A and B are shown apart, each in its own frame.
Chain A
Amino acid sequence: MLRIPCPFCGLRDHAEFDYEGDATVTYPPLDAPEDAWFEAVFLRENPRGRHREYWRHTQGCGAYLIVERDVTTHEIFGAELAHPGMASAMEGAA
């Protein structure tokens, strides 16, 4: 069982979360050409080692997190809020 440190809720089982894909992809603007969208939607690197990925704390606070995980060992190095505004607000609160 992976355990993810949610900034709001604390260390929780991954069963509370949904995996939501690669967090390193930058999505183009809506009016960008087909090629740019094709790349963002379909093309993925598959690197060994540390990876940044989105997880949604579906059974908890609902926040989207960026989780850093080693895809070969499953070691989790940390999690931050995906929304920069929420992330800085949390920092301010801390």
Chain B
Amino acid sequence: MTGFRLDAGGVVDRERPLKFFWDGKGMTGYAGDTLASALMASGERVIGRGFKYHRPRGVMSAGVEEGGAIVTVGAGAKRVANVRATTTELVAGLSAHGQNAWPSVRFDLGRINDQLGRFFAAGFYYKTFMGVLGTGTFEWMQFEKLIRRAAGMGRASREADPDWYEVVNDHCDLLVVGAGPAGLEAAAAAADAGLDVILADQDFALGGDLLGAAGPVGRANPANWLSKRLAALSGAVRLMPRTTVFGLYDGVVAGLVERVTEGLAAPSPELPRERLRIVRARRIVLATGAIERSIAFGDNDRPGVMTLAAARTYARRFGVLPGRRIAAVTTNDGGYADAVALAEAGAEVTLLDSRWARNPLAEAAEKAGVTVRQGGVPVKAEGAFGLRRLWVGDHLGGGRARPEEACDVDVVAVSGGWSPVVNLLSHRKVKPVWSDHLACFLPGETTEPIHVAGAAAGVWDAEACAASGKAAGLAAAKALGAWGGTVPNAPGPNGWEAPIDPVYEVSAERWKGKRFVDPQHDVTTDDIRLAHREGFVSVEHMKRYTTLGMATDQGKVGNVIGLALMAEASGRSIPETGTTTFRPPYTPVSMGALAGPERGAHWRPTRLTPMHEAVAASGAAFVDAGLWKRGWYFPQPGETMAEAARREVAMVRSSVGVVDVSTLGKIAVQGPDAAELLNRVYVNGFAKLPVGKARYGVMLREDGVAFDDGTTWRLSETEFFMTTTTANAGEVMKLLERLLQTRWTDLRVHVSSVSDGWGGVAVAGPKARAVLSKLIPDIDWSDAAYPFMGVREGGMKIGRGAIPVRTARLSFSGEKAWEVFTPADYGPHLWKTVLKAAEKAGGGAYGLEALDCLRVEKGHVTAREIDGRTTLEDLGLGKMASRAKPYLGSALKNRPELVRENRPRLVGLKPVAEGARFRAGSILCRPGERSAHGVGWVSSIADSPSLGWIGLGFAEGGLEAWEGAQLVAADPVNDAATLLEVVSPHFYDPSGSRMHG
């Protein structure tokens, strides 16, 4: 017999039928159903398949702890795998499929794995495939592929997520987690005191266990009690259903995920699918409830075996009876009310209580039609595709049983006790405390402003839960100074008359059958014992060896059972055995919610130079350089990148070129001690730099390794314009700030980043002076008046007006060249005006590719060479360092390793064979000697129009050791090797005559 819908009862709306699809078959449920309750009402029993053994699985719970009814929802790009049917709100048109089965969950060829069970015990893969057969990783990887196919979960969509997500930063006085009786009362008490309260619950309906309560709240009807509370709270607190508090973090910060479109059949595209809400609360009440445990008995994963509270919830909340003949199994008093509820719903109920003493609740149960059997335990379930029979035994104590009889039942509903949801507190590193009395972990003490109330604190009775919640709400209000009364004493843990019988596993001699602890990961009681036999003593090791509690439910049902079995096997108590730590998230959170809007182009900012549009209009192809889009090359029709770059290089050498250099870091260094600051951070002297001059400077890190280079221009006695490399702009700024704010606090200097305040171009080539002198007539451009490294300010004529420019005569290309900067808003005018003049003179624009080639030809270093491993001497810049003053890094730059004779030092490289090529990143090896490290590496390469393929690199001992000798550029990744000659890095115009004069 399968489950069916009752004629009345529950909070589903029988006036609103919803059509949905299960494995393509049309079915009908009601508004208020979950997918699981609707499937159960439609008579479906096999919903999923086990992870390893592919055994048929049905609904095992009515909540987030589900380990059986795991399905795939949606199709195409919207397909979501590994969804719990028990928490999926039914909407019209919902389409769900069984997963981890082929061809279907009813008939799955993978079921053969169950017969081969002994091969799938804990650790089997590792021992067999890595140890015996495999000689190494390769074999393991081949087997792993097969294993992954056979044992698996649903498949995620391979398409881009079509939905969008948002992130909200929020604050409140009190965050209440869980809207059961405790949470509702806590929120109400705090709101009455005037606090700003958020009440969040993972369910789509608020009320927690009251939605399908077994009994009254005190003397009140639970539905009435609930509707009265919700009406009072409406408007007074922020009610957030469909919102999971998935993690607690430092600073009373909670991570919430709201499933915004859940429950909407056709959500507006204006709505995000989910919303990550980061809540900074002043205090938190955890009213997260408790989760019922199962018991491990023979074949306890058969479809039809579920927790007792789940069976009652389906009957009372959803109006679905899971079966006609139900064996209710309990170890505690809580099971009696649930058994009665099932009997009242029309089922034929036998209650097996593992305790022999006649329970005071038994009489009332029998009056309601329940057959009570004291001292009875379940031994073995039968019926692969749906329970048919349960073997019942006498309890001999400690879970051992003597099988007595077979009962024909279609549902076994089990209560092995309750586990308070201590997960969120565990995120705060508060260790739960074992209670022998209640056979569960209770929340530990915390010093943080967090209260725990209700079943989460081990309070089982609904009315006591409400009182516990009220006390927590008042305590929070009092702590925040919003309420001045006396907080009533909260009810302590418990609510049972007779003590619980801690049964975790039922075993009978000579009775075989897998007894599952973790149904989602197919971990059995034998796996736990195997782990112990093989020496896994620590519970953390046991978890990783068996994978207990590592599935998507994170051991919400199975962990305590596994722990108890481990304790028993090792002869220790449960507290001695310890427990694993729960970590966020409480339930799975979609990647989309965590990413929020930061995806695609918005994953990180895109930085554009002030003249970007104008550069693009000039025909530039762009390349990403960090966050920047930089002009790469300017192809003419039919040109490749290499052809364009070669033409641009030749153009600069023969005529004039214009390049956008706005990405350089720019820092205004101002104040009476500005020169002193620069003198301390650069290796070379800056104190005596005259006004109107620029100087090339190099900085070291304080450990003596080269850090950054650039030119700094002296604008006045007290003002400098510092430029840095594009890559290090932020880091240099931070260094200067750190020094000024924490170390050299007596220096009267102010630094400000003006990188985005200026746009700039470099104008380089023999005709650069002619171009600039016409455009900026108020500067005297003669060599005598404007010498190399000079700095001049002026106005560039544009139409009838002029834009202010700040210029310096600097050369990165080796040609006569100037850098011209203008306030950012004038950037496009600067680019267009200079480029037009350059084109008139026979020149044009050049990009990063040509810029790089020009500097390699000159042997100038960039971030490829100043890479955090190289010293000044390695870079060939040792002579720059001042001996007359100390500077940042000078004390540590002479450590033995940094002055070792044969350190790799800068060299020039060119192929021996004409036309041969090599790559940056190649390893430099002695000919005939290929090794992983070689004697150095290639840092940069260039395709020079005049010199062919050339490169810069580092070789042990530098030019002195290798000049004229040969090395191989080995590129094992591309299986390439090129014979090179080591030459001076100054390939082009080594005397520098072209940039002077």
B996 CB within 8 Å of chain A: no
Given contacts A1-B280, A31-B891, A82-B741, 13 further A-B contacts (CB under 8 A): A3-B250, A3-B253, A20-B742, A30-B887, A30-B888, A32-B891, A41-B702, A58-B734, A64-B737, A64-B742, A74-B250, A74-B251, A82-B742
With A27-B743, A37-B702 known as contacts, the answer to whether A64 contacts B891 (CB < 8 A) is no
B745 at the interface (CB under 8 A from A): yes
Asked if B894 and A56 make an inter-chain contact with CB atoms under 8 angstroms apart, the answer reads no
User: Which positions 736-775 of chain B face chain A at CB distance < 8 Å?
Assistant: 737-738, 740-743, 745
B895 in complex: contacting residue of A34, A76, A83, CB < 8 Å: A34
Interface string of B274-292 (1 = CB under 8 A from A): 0000101000000000000
By a CB distance below 8 angstroms, the chain A residues around B253 are 1, 3, 13
Instruction: Say if the beta carbon of A17 comes within 8 Å of chain B.
Output: no
Q: Judge if B703 is at the interface, Cβ distance under 8 Å.
A: yes
Of the candidates B280, B702, B741, B887, the one whose C-beta lies within 8 Å of that of A83 is B741
Decide if B738 touches A56 in the complex (CB within 8 Å): yes
The reply to whether A20 and B892 form a contact with Cβ atoms under 8 Å apart is: no
The verdict on A60 contacting chain B, using a C-beta distance below 8 Å, is no
Query: A49 within 8 Å of B by Cβ?
Result: no
| Residues from chain B with Cβ under 8 Å of A10 in the complex | none
B680 on the A face (CB < 8 A): yes
A9 within 8 A of B: no
25 contacts between A and B (CB under 8 A): A1-B249, A1-B278, A1-B280, A3-B253, A23-B742, A30-B887, A30-B888, A31-B886, A34-B894, A34-B895, A37-B891, A38-B892, A38-B895, A41-B702, A42-B703, A54-B742, A56-B737, A58-B734, A62-B737, A63-B741, A64-B738, A64-B741, A81-B741, A83-B742, A83-B745
User: Do B745 and A33 touch across chains, with their CB atoms under 8 A apart?
Assistant: no
Cβ of A36 within 8 Å of any chain B Cβ, yes or no, is yes
What total of chain A residues lie within 8 Å of the partner, measured CB to CB?
A: 35
CB of A47 closer than 8 Å to a CB of B: no
User: Complex formed: what's the CA distance from A18 to B249 in Å?
Assistant: 19
A38-58 vs B: 1/0 string, CB under 8 Å? 100110000000000010101
Q: Which residues of A come within 8 Å of B, CB atoms?
A: 1-3, 13, 18, 20, 23, 27-34, 36-38, 41-42, 54, 56, 58, 62-64, 73-74, 76, 81-86
Cβ of A13 to closest chain B Cβ, rounded Å: 8
A16 vs B447: C-alpha distance in the bound complex, in angstroms? 26
Q: For the complex formed, measure the closest distance between the CB of A40 and the CB atoms of chain B, giving whole angstroms.
A: 8
Interface residues of B in 245-297 (CB under 8 A from A): 249-251, 253, 278, 280
- Which of these, B251, B737, B740, B890, contacts A1 with CB under 8 Å? B251
A-B pairs with lowest CB-CB distance, top 5 = A30-B886, A37-B891, A3-B251, A64-B741, A1-B253
Please indicate the chain A residues that have their CB under 8 angstroms from the CB of B738 in the complex.
20, 54, 56, 64
Residues of chain A lying within 8 A (CB to CB) of residue B886: 29-31
- What chain A residues lie within 8 Å of B887 (beta carbons)? 30
Alpha-carbon distance A22/B52, docked complex (angstroms): 50
Q: Is the CB of A2 within 8 A of B891?
A: no
- Report chain B residues within 8 Å CB of A38: 892, 895
Smallest beta-carbon distance A36→chain B, Å: 7
On chain A, the residues within 8 Å of B702 by CB distance are 37, 41
CA distance A66 to B249 in the complex (A): 22
For the A-B complex, the count of residue pairs with Cβ-Cβ distances under 8 Å equals 71
Q: Which of B697-745 contact A (CB under 8 A)?
A: 702-703, 734, 737-738, 740-743, 745
A79 to chain B, nearest CB (A): 13
What residues on B are CB-neighbors of A31 within 8 Å? 886, 891
A85 and B745 contacting across the interface, CB-CB below 8 Å: yes
Are A56 and B250 in contact, with the CB atoms below 8 A? no
Which residues of chain A come closer than 8 Å to B894, judged between CB atoms?
34
Contacts of A20 in B (CB 8 A): 738, 742
**Would you call B890 and A3 a contact (CB within 8 A)?**
no
Give me the interface of B with A, judged by CB distance under 8 Å. 249-251, 253, 278, 280, 447, 680, 702-703, 734, 737-738, 740-743, 745, 886-888, 890-892, 894-895
B899 CB to nearest chain A CB (Å): 12
Contacts of B741 in A (CB 8 A): 63-64, 81-83, 86
- B745 near A41 with CB under 8 A, answer no
B residues near A29, Cβ cutoff 8 Å: 886
- Nearest CB on A from B23, distance (A): 43
Interchain CB contact under 8 A, B280 and A34? no
Whether A34 lies near B251 (C-beta < 8 A) is no
In the bound complex, what is the Cα–Cα distance between A29 and B887 (angstroms)? 10
Distance in angstroms from A35 CB to nearest chain B CB is 9
Query: In the assembly, what is the distance between CA of A74 and CA of B248, in Å?
Result: 14
User: Which residues of chain B come closer than 8 Å to A73, judged between CB atoms?
Assistant: 447
Given contacts A30-B887, A83-B741, contact A1 B250 (CB under 8 A): yes
B-chain residues with CB within 8 Å of residue A3 when the two chains form the complex = 250-251, 253, 280
Hey, which chain B residues are within 8 Å of A62, CB to CB?
Answer: 737
- In the complex formed, the residue of A with least CB distance to B169 is A13
Cα A18 to Cα B735 in complex, Å, equals 13
Distance (Å) between the CB of B856 and the closest chain A CB? 33
> Looking at A36, A64, A85, which has the most chain B CB atoms within 10 Å of its CB?
A64
Residue of B702, B741, B887, B890 contacting most chain A CB atoms (<10 Å): B741
Which A residues lie within 8 Å of B742 (CB)?
A: 20, 23, 54, 64, 82-83
Check A30–B890 contact: CB distance below 8 A.
Answer: yes
B744 to chain A, nearest CB (A): 9
Known: A36-B891, A38-B892. A2 touches B250 (CB 8 A): yes
Q: In the bound complex, what is the Cα–Cα distance between A43 and B319 (angstroms)?
A: 68
Instruction: Kindly state the separation between the CA atoms of A23 and B742 in the bound complex, as whole angstroms.
Output: 9
Nearest-CB residue, chain B, relative to A64: B741
* Beta-carbon contact of A34 and B250 below 8 Å: no
* B892 engages A2 (CB within 8 Å): no
Contact A2 B743 (CB under 8 A): no
Q: CB-CB < 8 A to B278: which residues of A?
A: 1
Contact partners of A54 in chain B: CB under 8 A: 738, 742
Expressed in whole angstroms, the Cα–Cα distance for A2 and B740 within the complex equals 26
Residue of A31, A42, A86 most packed against chain B (CB within 10 A): A31
Residue of B nearest to A54 (CB): B742
In the complex formed, the residue of B with least CB distance to A83 is B741
Q: What CA separation (Å) do A28 and B737 show in the bound complex? A: 18
CA distance A81 to B737 in the complex (A): 13
- Chain A hits for B740, CB < 8 A: 83
Contacts of A1 in B (CB 8 A): 249-251, 253, 278, 280
Of the listed residues B253, B447, B742, B888, the one surrounded by the most CB atoms of chain A closer than 10 A to its CB is: B742
The reply to whether A33 and B891 contact each other, CB–CB distance below 8 Å, is: yes
Chain B nearest CB from A61 CB (Å) reads: 11
Given the known interface contacts A1-B251, A54-B742, the answer about A34 and B892 at a Cβ–Cβ threshold of 8 Å is: yes
Cα–Cα, bound, A86→B746 (Å)? 11
Cα distance A16–B250 when bound, in Å?
Answer: 15
Instruction: Give the distance in Å from the alpha carbon of A73 to the alpha carbon of B249 in the complex.
Output: 11
Identity of the chain B residue whose Cβ is nearest the Cβ of A37 in the assembled complex: B891
A32-B743 Cα distance, complex, nearest whole Å: 15
Q: How far is the CA of A33 from the CA of B894 in the complex (A)?
A: 11
Is there an interface contact between A84 and B745, defined as CB atoms closer than 8 Å? yes
Q: Which A-chain residue is minimally distant from B278 (CB atoms)? A: A1
Given A82-B741, A83-B745, verify A30-B251 contact (CB < 8 Å). no
Residues of A within 8 A of B737 (CB): 56, 62, 64
Complexed CA–CA distance, A37 and B887 (Å): 12
CB-CB under 8 A from B888, the residues of chain A are 30
Nearest CB in chain A: distance from B13 CB, A: 41
B249 partner residues in chain A, CB cutoff 8 A: 1
- In the complex, the answer to whether B680 meets A30 with C-beta atoms within 8 Å is yes
**Which residues of B have CB within 8 Å of A76?**
251
Residues of chain B with a CB closer than 8 A to A74's CB: 250-251
